[in-house]
């Protein structure tokens, strides 16, 4: 029986995230081509990694049909030019798809089945709206296994506001405005651009172009402006387009490896996977999912919340992040949380977002040798949460 090996995060990249719809960046770009671009960029940026040393390609998509179907991990690997000997597969855990791609291959690396893997995710919500082609079993509602609101993400966020009455719309709007401001600052400071891969886009009307920045951020967003937005999920509700993530297209990918293999190949390991956990919650309040998954991941790691120096929390909805912070006694504006901003500004192409969180955490770790541990966490449709705890390999205590 092989003994467990340390798993390290080597590098992560993503396409700029586009707005979904007929006028969005990727309206006429295939989903699989976004993944191919990411895989090729990972290989270009890591010339010490021989393509034949990649043992697995795991790519997530929530809606696995059309150009997001055909076992996308394998088909994108072949199209990206990896040797035909490199296998691949597809994953679906809704919003936590890319996160699950990473934890799945990490388990294989720790066990000794793989040395190096590429993991990521894609979602083209313009071509494939969430839930396209699905046929939910009528027993869900007929037998009251879930509340009817469980299948509409915005309704689950309104339910979360009900559960946490202290999280007002004003708090959600303030958090959203701060996210936009942090993203604008991160862009101005050149923090985001190093991990974006310029991606060719085409339009029958406008011809070819190059996507080099996220399309979603709205610099200059104010709480006053957000307060005027409609609440589409409930009359006089608290969830708006401004305090939730957008509907987006984009792809992410990363290289993970066994620690000693990264060293052997001369790859720079940026962070070590300490523990991970997934947890289930009532689907109608899926936004609380990161709370039990984080508690479990901390328990597995033998850590407490006070040991965590950086948090990358996916901002599906402001209320969901605020519920997490409230539970753990963390202030709404704690500087450890989403220092570069989050999905309210960047966007949330469902299955791809988990690796965006990891890539940003790795970049933040590089700037913060004083921080040892960080968390990437997200809520997941159908009532789940996912959390991965990472150790900063540049932590000054190591030296």
Active-site residue set: 95, 348, 379
Rounded Cα–Cα distance for residues 226 and 81 (Å)? 45
Q: What is the DSSP letter of 242?
A: S
Pairing of strands 199-203, 207-211: antiparallel
DSSP per-residue string spanning 306-357: GGEEEEEE--SBHHHHHHHHHHHT--TT-TTB-TT--HHHH---GGGHHHHH
CA distance 283 to 263: 43
Q: Is 277 helix (H, G, I), strand (E, B) or coil?
A: strand
DSSP 103-163: HHHHHHHHHTS-SEEEEEEEEETTTS-TTTT----THHHHTTSS-GGGGSHHHHHHHHHHH
75-81: list long-range contacts, CB under 8 Å, 24+ apart.
75/32, 76/32, 76/35, 76/36, 76/39, 77/39, 77/118, 79/32, 79/36, 80/35, 80/36, 80/39, 80/40, 80/43, 81/40, 81/51
Distance CA 252, CA 297 (A): 23
What are the tokens at 342? 């989050």
Neighbour tally for 142: CB within 10 Å: 8
Cβ–Cβ under 8 Å, residues 187 and 217: yes
Contact 322, 167 (CB under 8 A): yes
Record the tokens describing residue 312, joined without a space. Answer: 């990358």
CA separation (Å) from 82 to 36, 60, 118, 263, 288? 10, 18, 11, 22, 39
Q: How far apart are CA 121 and CA 98, in angstroms?
A: 5
């Amino acid at each position: 029986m092989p003994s467990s090996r340390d798993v390290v995060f080597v590098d992560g990249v993503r396409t700029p995230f586009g707005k979904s719809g007929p006028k969005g960046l990727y309206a006429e770009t295939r989903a699989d081509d976004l993944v191919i671009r990411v895989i090729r960029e990972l290989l270009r940026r890591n010339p010490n990694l021989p393509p034949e040393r990649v043992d697995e390609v795991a790519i997530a998509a929530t809606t696995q049909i059309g150009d997001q179907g055909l076992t996308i991990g394998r088909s994108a690997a072949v199209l990206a030019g990896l040797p035909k000997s490199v296998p691949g597969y597809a994953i679906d855990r809704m919003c936590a798809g890319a996160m699950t791609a990473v934890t799945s291959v990490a388990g294989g690396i720790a066990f000794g089945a793989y040395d190096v893997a590429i993991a990521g995710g894609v979602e083209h919500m313009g071509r494939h709206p969430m839930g396209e082609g699905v046929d939910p079993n009528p027993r869900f509602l007929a037998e009251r296994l879930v509340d009817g609101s469980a299948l509409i993400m915005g309704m689950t966020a309104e339910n979360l506001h009900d559960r946490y009455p202290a999280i007002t719309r004003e708090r959600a709007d303030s958090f959203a405005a701060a996210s936009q401001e942090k993203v604008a600052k991160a862009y101005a400071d050149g923090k985001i651009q190093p991990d974006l891969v310029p991606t060719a886009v085409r339009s029958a009307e406008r011809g070819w172009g190059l996507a080099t920045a996220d399309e979603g951020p709205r610099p200059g967003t104010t709480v006053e402006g957000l307060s005027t937005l409609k609440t589409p999920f409930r009359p006089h509700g608290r969830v708006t387009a401004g305090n939730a993530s957008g509907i987006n297209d984009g792809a992410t990918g990363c290289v993970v490896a066994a620690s000693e293999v990264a060293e052997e190949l001369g790859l720079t390991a940026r962070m070590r996977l300490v523990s991970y956990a997934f947890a289930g919650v009532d689907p109608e309040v899926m936004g609380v999912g990161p709370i039990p998954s984080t508690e479990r991941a901390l328990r597995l790691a033998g850590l407490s919340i006070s040991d965590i120096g950086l948090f990358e929390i996916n901002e599906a909805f402001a209320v969901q992040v605020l519920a997490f912070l409230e539970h753990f006694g963390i202030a709404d504006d704690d500087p450890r949380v989403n220092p570069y901003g989050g999905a309210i500004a960047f966007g949330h192409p469902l299955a791809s977002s988990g690796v965006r969180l990891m890539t940003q955490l790795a970049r933040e770790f590089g700037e913060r040798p004083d921080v040892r541990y960080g968390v990437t966490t997200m809520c997941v449709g159908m009532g789940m949460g996912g959390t991965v705890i990472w150790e900063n390999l540049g932590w000054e205590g190591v030296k």
